[in-house]
Structure 1
Amino acid sequence: MSQATYNKIWTNAQKDLDTQLQAEREQFLQPEKDRVKAFRMLAASYIKYLQIFHHLEEAHSHLIHQQKRAAIRQVLDGVIGRILELKKEMVQLENSEFHYTDNVIEDLKLLPEDTEIPIPKYFIKENLEGLQQREKTLDEILLNAGLETQKPVKAMTLEEAIKMIQVAERARQGRRRALFMKQIYLEEKRKRHTKLQEQAGPNPDDAATCIQKVWRGYIQRKKTEKMREEEMIFLGMEVNGKKAWVHTDR
């Protein structure tokens, strides 16, 4: 998608955030004594913030303008903080970290996948070195403890991944170029073969076939003429190659 599309996603997410904040000011102005209603309000706000988070994270991951990314990052961090606050309140209200939000999802016409919380791409990118070091340490602990028999595979760095992608892309372009040059070579070879045939004249087999057709046609015409003459003589309409006139009395 184009940058204009992600700008639109960011704008719509910002509008949804403003609407949600205004709704929270009105809904949470008075404390709700009904436990079921209170949980339903928290769950609805939680899921709506998740939707806003998905849109902001998508815009932040694909926009190129650094100032726009910085502005989205501040809002995105605030949205993540609000999601954690709502999650904490829901846990305290139900004394459980697992919540049944099927009714809320159905009311909002969403899918269960829409409530999943992915790890933000910027978090992985900014903490890539620490995450790799943590994974390496964990693999070494498991290996020393005998819980892992194979030597852990070394994680690929960002520079190595970029280099591998570049090599694969150059190889792909090379294969495409080779195929294109092969097509040009075959086309030129076909043109040269056609030109040589035109210069050398017709194929001997084709010439012999053409002569045979002409000769057979000539022989057949002669046979037909002879048969016609014999028929005319038999009918008495021709004598010694000359037509005979038949007089009839009127």
Structure 2
Amino acid sequence: QTQASLSEAIQHWAALYLKYLDILRTLESCYDGMVHPQKRIDIKIVLELVMARILELKQLLIKWNPVHPDLIAPGCEGPLPWEYVNFDDILVDLKLPPKALEVTIPRYFKEELVDNHRTRDKLILALKALKLGENISLDLEPTVEGETTRMMEMTIEEAVGCLQRAERGRQSIARAKVLKNLAE
């Protein structure tokens, strides 16, 4: 009876694991398409919670997955946990392709990694210069490659003209969308 209940529990955890992987893919694409910074922060928090839950489920599956009898060596207390979990039956039951098992790595990891490396490199250069006695400024603010750090100087008339051009462009794009929708 315990073997049957363990098998049902593994089936349940495996189904949850696959559903959480689908949720991860959906949230990751939602995060990438989100423009609003406040919503991106909230989606990122949920995305990290989903990744944590996926890891918990994977550990449960590894811990309680029945080991193939050929892997048990005679004289050993028991086999080591095996990282591979067979999802074939669950994929067939849920009518999912094998691609559903692919774990997507969120793109924001790469973005944050680049920013962290840039900040780290600046800090190392500053510490190295400090140690060698050179005098450099420590600028830890992330900057875009090729971006100048000084402020652009413009008169009020130039600034107003720039804003007016941007507003006219925005209005033209909005009008074009309305006309396109009316034409359809």
TM-score (norm 2): 0.52
Distance in 2 between the 1:124 and 1:75 partners?
18
State which of 90, 93, 98 in structure 1 corresponds to 2:84. 98
1:78 is the counterpart of 2:43: no
1:64 is the counterpart of 2:35: yes
Contact 2:24 2:104 in 1 (8 A): no
Q: Which amino acid aligns with 1:66?
A: P
Correspondence for 1:202: none
Greater relative contact order (CA < 8 Å, ≥ 6 in sequence): 2
State which of 40, 43, 61 in structure 1 corresponds to 2:14. 43
Distance in 2 between the 1:128 and 1:114 partners?
29
1:119 is the counterpart of 2:108: no
Over 3 Å counting, the alpha-carbon distance change for 1:32 and 1:120 in structure 2 is farther
% identical equivalent positions: 36
Cα offset, 1:159, TM superposition: 3.2
Cα offset, 1:118, TM superposition: 1.7
- Where do 1:1-250 residues align within 5 Å? 34-94=5-65, 95-129=81-115, 159=145
Cα offset, 1:131, TM superposition: 6.6
Distance in 2 between the 1:131 and 1:97 partners?
32
What whole-Å deviation, never above 9, does each CA across 1:140-186 have from its counterpart, x for those lacking one?
A: xxxxxxxxxxxxxxxxxx737xxxxxxxxxxxxxxxxxxxxxxxxxx
What whole-Å deviation, never above 9, does each CA across 1:107-160 have from its counterpart, x for those lacking one?
A: 22211112101211011110125579xxxxxxxxxxxxxxxxxxxxxxxxx737
Question: SS where residue 98 of structure 1 aligns?
Answer: coil
Over 3 Å counting, the alpha-carbon distance change for 1:65 and 1:105 in structure 2 is same
Cα offset, 1:60, TM superposition: 0.1
Distance in 2 between the 1:83 and 1:92 partners?
14
Cα offset, 1:39, TM superposition: 1.0
Distance in 2 between the 1:62 and 1:79 partners?
18
Distance in 2 between the 1:106 and 1:118 partners?
21
Of residues 47-56 and 104-113 in structure 1, the stretch that sits farther from structure 2 once superposed is 104-113
Over 3 Å counting, the alpha-carbon distance change for 1:38 and 1:129 in structure 2 is same
* Higher share of residues assigned helix: 1
Q: Where in structure 2 are there 5+ consecutive unaligned residues?
A: 66-80, 119-143, 147-184
Q: Where in structure 1 are there 5+ consecutive unaligned residues?
A: 1-30, 133-157, 161-250
Cα offset, 1:35, TM superposition: 2.2
Q: How many residues align?
A: 108
Distance in 1 between the 2:18 and 2:30 partners?
19
Larger radius of gyration: 1
Q: Which amino acid aligns with 2:91?
A: I
TM-score (norm 1): 0.39
Contact 1:32 1:38 in 2 (8 A): no
Q: Which amino acid aligns with 1:119?
A: I
Q: Which amino acid aligns with 1:83?
A: I
